[in-house]
Amino acid sequence: MLPTPRTLILLAATALTVPGVPTWAAQPVRARHGMVVTRERHATEAGLQVLASGGNAVDAAVAVGFALAVTHSSAGNIGGGGFMLVRLADGRTTFIDFRERAPEAASRNMYLDANGKATQDSTLGYRASGVPGTVRGLEYASQKYGKLPWASLVRPAAELASKGFTLSYAQAQSLRNGGRGLARFPESNRIFLRDGKFYEPGDTFVQPELGRTLDRIARLGAKDFYEGETARLLAEDMQAHGGLITLDDLRKYTAIERKPLTGTYHGYTLVTAPPPSSGGVGILQMLAMLDGTGFEKGGAGSATVVHYMTEAMRRYFADRAEHLGDPDFVKVPLTALLDPKYIASQRASIDPVQATPSSQVRAGKFSGHESVETTHYTVADDQGNVVAVTYTLNGGYGSKVTAAGLGFLLNNEMDDFAAKPGEANMFGLIQGEANAIAPRKTPLSSMVPTIVLKDGQPFLALGSPGGPTIINSVLEVIVNVLDFHMNVQDAVNWPRFHHQWMPDTLQMEPGYSPDTVALLQSRGYTIRRVNAQGEVAAIRFENGWLEGAPDPRTEGTAEGR
């Protein structure tokens, strides 16, 4: 039983004056009896209230997921899907896959025109959506691992939608910036853009249709979304606009509980996402590649560190393009990808000084086979349960379609398949035959909720949105904490970089010294500067304290009790 609720700790994490060049250490939010770290304050408060009411971390994670569907419209969702990684107080770990799936009517070449060219149908409009999994996945987690009644976890979100909430500056700007695509669909234009009379900061955003949908889900459970009134209205809207999702697709959707991947690095145990996430194998492969190089001796932010980590990224993403896909449809060579001999050969191929051109990097060849707009949140309770959730609509505001009469946006997750194997998707990511479209198949994902254990106990829990940058953002925060001994807030704040094999470009945030950038260029890197990469939400466990680290790149918040 939880102790009597104490005064809530509502501290905002201090952002670095210049990213990566702190004048003093940024401090995480600290608490002893529970911690919730999310992108948006209403969602954080919803999760914390569940903890204060006697719920566990799974209960809080479910409440946060529904609240974000109301307050973080560009990515929070009930029209998308995602992953939940759970580490229970008794030491058990599990991974709940509620990723979207291709409708029964999907086909391999459905997004190619008569000339074999990819169309925009995989990113915009009704045909872009896979069968949503969020409601089923959150209900599965609640029923199997939660404590509180289902309705109590959904009703806070229903009230936020029905009564409205005050828009921040960033939320109002996000709605305005999503305008071009949203304006093409009447329901989206009406709800999110007020038919061109854009919302301003401080306005109250009321979503009555979404409120009614969430109220039905609170009363009737996921059955409403997949078999009831919500399912019927969604299927009818799809049929009326050439979409592929049918009532039968919705009825057949199930969440899948999978065994997490595990590995070790520098004395720590990592528990992470298995396929159809490509992220877990990527984290484990890249850390193993770095182990033994001595890269960390260069110090955080040095050209040596960026060089070695980029070369590991480059080699992993080449493997990702060739070998990763839905394990229920293709044999993913996990054992081969993580084999120490293969890792050693990849490590040996890294030139200690010069960049390896991506044109010279190829995926491993194995004799057998064994697979951006997102948001992540992390929750811990005082019983020892830890939950890391990453879920998504894929692109910002998904397919831009709002289901008629239901108030929620639909995903454009079908673009995460290889619409044309060998060609880049909306993230510039090249994908292979293993991720080709097939009915009922799950598209490959980069989402990688991860929990790090020290001596068998939780030490760090984190995750990130951002398309393929997810994997590298998580990797970098792990390295910042484990190898460079940063506190968790500094580790999240530190400037990030990203390489994904193709295109052969190193993406870097501000904060690296001009000398470091010049040295990397002299080593053969083509550098592209970006304002921000990813949105990590992390919790570190330290001497009985829970240390929450939201990301200053966003309006992220951490609150503890």
The pLDDT score that the predictor gives to residue 362 is: 75
Residue 13 belongs to some domain of the structure? no
| Range with lowest mean pLDDT among 7-21, 169-183, 224-238, 390-404 | 7-21
Mean pLDDT of 290-313: 97
The pLDDT score that the predictor gives to residue 19 is: 43
Q: DSSP states of 56-88 as a string?
A: -HHHHHHHHHHHHHHH-TTT--SSSEEEEEEE-
**Is the domain of 365 the same as that of 477?**
yes
**Is the domain of 218 the same as that of 276?**
no
Arithmetic mean of pLDDT over the chain:
92
The pLDDT score that the predictor gives to residue 8 is: 33
The pLDDT score that the predictor gives to residue 13 is: 36
Which pLDDT band holds residue 421 (cuts at 50, 70, 90)?
confident
**Is the domain of 125 the same as that of 224?**
yes
**Is the domain of 144 the same as that of 166?**
yes
Closest CA to 75 of 156, 213, 178: 178
pLDDT above 80 (res 519): yes
Which CATH number do you get for residue 349?
Answer: 1.10.246.130
Q: In the 8-state DSSP scheme, what is residue 99?
A: -
**Is the domain of 233 the same as that of 103?**
yes
Does residue 269 have an active-site annotation? Answer: no
Per-residue model confidence as pLDDT tens digits over 275-290: 999 999 999 999 999 9
Residue 455 belongs to some domain of the structure? no
**Is the domain of 286 the same as that of 408?**
no
Torsion of CA 97, 472, 40, 453, to 10 degrees: 70
The pLDDT score that the predictor gives to residue 429 is: 64
Q: Output the six-digit token pair for 289.
A: 């590649």
Residue 48 belongs to some domain of the structure? yes
**Is the domain of 404 the same as that of 481?**
no
Mean pLDDT of 18-38: 79
The pLDDT score that the predictor gives to residue 363 is: 66
Mean pLDDT of 403-425: 89
Residue 8 belongs to some domain of the structure? no
Determine the 3-state secondary structure of 225 from DSSP: helix
Q: Output the six-digit token pair for 32.
A: 């002893």
The pLDDT score that the predictor gives to residue 369 is: 27
Domain of residue 522, residue span: 259-373+466-538
Mean pLDDT of 413-441: 82
Torsion of CA 402, 134, 228, 103, to 10 degrees: 70
pLDDT above 80 (res 46): yes
Q: How far is the first Cα of the chain from the last one, in angstroms, to the nearest whole number?
A: 14
Mean pLDDT of 118-145: 97
Which pLDDT band holds residue 427 (cuts at 50, 70, 90)?
low
Mean pLDDT of 234-262: 98
- CA–CA gap between residue 559 and residue 33 (Å, rounded): 11
pTM of the entire predicted model: 0.93
Q: How many CB atoms lie within 10 A of CB 514?
A: 7
Which pLDDT band holds residue 29 (cuts at 50, 70, 90)?
very high
Mean pLDDT of 251-266: 98
Dihedral sign, Cα of residue 273, residue 274, residue 276, residue 278:
positive
**Is the domain of 474 the same as that of 403?**
no
Per-residue model confidence as pLDDT tens digits over 335-369: 999 999 999 999 999 999 999 999 998 765 433 32
pLDDT above 60 (res 74): yes
The pLDDT score that the predictor gives to residue 293 is: 97
Q: Output the six-digit token pair for 466.
A: 């951002």
Element housing 547 (H / E): strand 545-549
- CA–CA gap between residue 471 and residue 429 (Å, rounded): 13
Residue 460 belongs to some domain of the structure? no
**Is the domain of 69 the same as that of 173?**
yes
- CA–CA gap between residue 30 and residue 25 (Å, rounded): 14
Which pLDDT band holds residue 134 (cuts at 50, 70, 90)?
very high
pLDDT above 50 (res 11): no
Mean pLDDT of 478-484: 98
The pLDDT score that the predictor gives to residue 25 is: 78
Count of domains in the chain? 2
**Is the domain of 304 the same as that of 405?**
no
Cα separations (Å) of 489 from 43, 308, 550?
Answer: 20, 24, 7
Residue 41 belongs to some domain of the structure? yes
- Please pick, among 374, 390, 392, 442, the residue that the annotation labels catalytic: 374
| Range with lowest mean pLDDT among 221-230, 256-265, 355-364 | 355-364
**Is the domain of 334 the same as that of 478?**
yes
Residue 445 belongs to some domain of the structure? no
**Is the domain of 130 the same as that of 230?**
yes
pLDDT above 60 (res 47): yes
- CA–CA gap between residue 378 and residue 117 (Å, rounded): 40
Mean pLDDT of 166-174: 96
pLDDT above 60 (res 15): no
pLDDT above 70 (res 27): yes
- CA–CA gap between residue 130 and residue 414 (Å, rounded): 6
Residue 24 belongs to some domain of the structure? no
Single-letter code of the amino acid located at 385: N
The pLDDT score that the predictor gives to residue 16 is: 39
Mean pLDDT of 419-426: 74
Which pLDDT band holds residue 18 (cuts at 50, 70, 90)?
very low
